[in-house]
Structure 1
Amino acid sequence: MTLSRRTPAAVAALAAALVLTACGSASTAGGGDGTGTAKAGTAPNGITVNLTPDQKRVTTPKVDAVAALLPEEIRKRGTLQVVGNAGTVPPLEFTATDDKTVIGVETDIAELVGNVLGLDVQHNTVSWENVFVGLDSGKYDVGFTNITVTEARKEKYDFATYRLDILGFEARKGGSWKVTGPKDVAGHVIGTSSGTNQEKLLISWNEQNVKAGLKPVDIKYYQNSSDYYLALTSGRIDAWLGPNPTEAFHAAQTGETEVIGTYSGGGADVLGKIAATTKKDSGLVKALSGAVNEIIRNGTYAQVLKRWGLGEEAVQTSEINPPGLPKIG
């Protein structure tokens, strides 16, 4: 049974089971400076992370049967135009120690997919909003950049899942506060990024709390890791809500913060999933899903997740357009 076919009650139980404290997925790195600039580090699973341009990536052979699923135009071109939003967010997408080479789990998975399809992967780095502008225009073939499947996005894009979407609340280390659900954030000052599914989750929780007569959340918005980590360490915010991978990685580097709770990016009703994202009806999604399923089958997918400390975010199979984060309103 795939996760998307579970009953709402079972999904809610799964989501609740994801509420862990300070355990391994990952977060924004930093040589202890709290800015998110990756210099050296260890993944939350204890593995030393290679942050140099010479990545020595895991590779895998081409699989002709999967490559045959490609649209003819892309197959003839021989390249896969991948778009991403590489900021200072280890271990997802970030720059190596040369300050220009893009590395991270998203990059590694995109490369493996290219291997299976027999395509040369060309990485393009743009701002978050321009990821979707580029997909809409056909400038880029696919986004590998921590994109969550949502019902609203499914109206314009096709998705091939490759990782679970787990959000985390990161706070200063040593406190007793834990987050397991909406009531735990009432009355707190919490930072997040606008236009993200974590913002939607926080707004939804706040609405539930206000209706229940609890204190509202004071939501603060930040886009740069240097800004929100300065706000966190200085006490201007009580916690930061973002992708759990970046947070656990950051906590492992600095030793100053900890993840005080995690939650499915899809909320209580849907298990959130990260997916390769293409323009709707581009004809590419079956090939992408087939390639992800091949690397899951042959074990290279697990190797990549392990090298970045993300084993807990593995999917058992790549699904095409599964249920996504519900629309709000």
Structure 2
Amino acid sequence: MPTRTTPVTRRSTLTFALASALALTTAACGTPEDEGTENAGRAQPGTKGTKVNLSPDQKRVRAKKVDAIARLVPRRIRDRGTLEVVASAGSVPPLTFYATDDKTVIGVETDIAHLVADVLGLRVRAHAVDWANIFVGLDSGKYDVGFSNITVTEERKEKYDFATYRLDTISFEAKKGRGWKVKGPKDVAGRVIGVSSGTNQEKLLVDWSKQNVKAGRAATDIKYFQNTSDYYLALGSGRIDAYLGPNPVAAHHALSTGKTEVIGSFSGAGDGLQGKIAATTKKDNGLVRALHEALEHLIDEGGYGQVLRRWGLSDEAVRASEVNPRGLPKSS
């Protein structure tokens, strides 16, 4: 996930673009008005002027504490009364990004974290860090859980426990009108593709490049970007042919600018396996069962669905939360 380096003046421009993108997406979904999400992406088919709440005062969907689930939380966390939640500090709408005050982190990941904490009877203490420091902080016990578009992988399962809450779809975004699509590895042979380091997108791209070389095709020229504003500029200037990242981010950027398009979408876990996004916690620290049960409750009672509709991501909903499902395989 990208790190936050965007100045306030650029943030203001991004905010207006986001409002347009989110309004278009929610209108296309045609979902009913959500309870407790005033000015938060509500739309009816064909309506104009849909407002998206990008302010620090989010009026989030909330949930009630469930005592039986709250008792599953390890005592050290219950006694503290807070859930230490970490996410990547970046401009990655609609996942995690900054509100109009340029310091409050908002987005679907933040909303789900607050919902889970409600069920557990805890108060969220949000920590915004760069992508690599999410895992450093989880390893040290500084943070309890990561809600940051983290994909379940077999390698990560050696160190972390996962409770899934969203499907993982990744997409190639390219300048509009280039006339090429990505359907598989051969379509990125010899291409210059941007990606964020340390992500499952990077792993998939590296694996594809290796497959191409083995088949006698040109390797992919992989360029690394750690914040969205840089890859936006690289796409616009033609320095990269495409960028591979989370589908929600690519879709919103394409809608907001009208200058790029999604040219191929894939499961974040590769061929033959649907990738899953999950709440991520240090392995065997005793928290994953409580996270899982809270997510299951929220899926059943409806708050989970309201949050996804709020951000136009209903098509990434899971029917049930899973603990440590099969993830993106290790590289051969």
TM-score range, shorter chain: 0.7 to 0.9
Select 1:45's aligned residue among 17, 21, 26.
26
Q: 1:327 to 1:283 in 2, by over 3 A?
A: same
Maintained 8 Å contact 1:84/1:145 = yes
1:235 aligns with 2:230: no
Question: What letter corresponds to residue 249 of structure 1 in structure 2?
Answer: H
- Per-residue displacement from partner, 1:8-39 (whole Å, max 9, x unpaired)? xxxxxxxxxxxxxxxxxxxxxx9xx9989631
Counterpart in 2 of 1:312? 315
5+ residue gaps, structure 2: 1-5, 28-40, 42-50
Maintained 8 Å contact 2:11/2:102 = no
Maintained 8 Å contact 1:49/1:307 = no
- What SS does the aligned partner of 1:38 have? helix
Counterpart in 2 of 1:221? 224
Counterpart in 1 of 2:284? 281
5+ residue gaps, structure 1: 1-29
Maintained 8 Å contact 1:289/1:320 = yes
Distance 1:195 1:163 in 2: 20
Distance 1:99 1:78 in 2: 27
Maintained 8 Å contact 1:36/1:88 = no
Maintained 8 Å contact 1:37/1:88 = no
Identity of paired residues, percent?
Answer: 66
1:78 aligns with 2:81: yes
- Per-residue displacement from partner, 1:242-300 (whole Å, max 9, x unpaired)? 11111111111111111111101100132111111111111000000011111110111
What is the aligned-residue RMSD (CA, Å)?
1.7
Select 2:270's aligned residue among 262, 267, 270.
267
- What SS does the aligned partner of 1:116 have? helix
- What SS does the aligned partner of 2:321 have? coil
Q: 1:265 to 1:38 in 2, by over 3 A?
A: same
Distance 1:69 1:157 in 2: 18
- Per-residue displacement from partner, 1:161-198 (whole Å, max 9, x unpaired)? 11111111001112321112112212211111111110
1:166 aligns with 2:169: yes
Select 1:69's aligned residue among 46, 67, 72.
72
Counterpart in 2 of 1:249? 252
Distance 2:285 2:52 in 1: 36
1:206 aligns with 2:213: no
Alpha-carbon distance, 1:214 to partner: 2.2
Greater shift in the superposed pair: 97-106 or 216-225:
216-225
Alpha-carbon distance, 1:212 to partner: 1.8
Question: What letter corresponds to residue 78 of structure 1 in structure 2?
Answer: G
Q: 1:34 to 1:322 in 2, by over 3 A?
A: farther
Distance 2:52 2:141 in 1: 34
- What SS does the aligned partner of 2:208 have? helix
- Per-residue displacement from partner, 1:222-245 (whole Å, max 9, x unpaired)? 112121111101111110001111
TM-score, length-scaled by structure 1: 0.87
TM-score, length-scaled by structure 2: 0.86
- What SS does the aligned partner of 2:151 have? coil
Structure with the greater relative contact order (CA < 8 A, sep ≥ 6): 1 or 2?
1
Runs of 4+ in 1 over 4 A off after TM superposition: 33-37
Maintained 8 Å contact 2:12/2:100 = no
Counterpart in 2 of 1:186? 189
Q: 1:176 to 1:90 in 2, by over 3 A?
A: same
Q: 1:108 to 1:39 in 2, by over 3 A?
A: same
- What SS does the aligned partner of 1:324 have? coil
Counterpart in 1 of 2:306? 303
- What SS does the aligned partner of 1:165 have? strand
Select 2:179's aligned residue among 176, 180, 183.
176
Distance 2:26 2:58 in 1: 19
Greater shift in the superposed pair: 257-266 or 179-188:
179-188
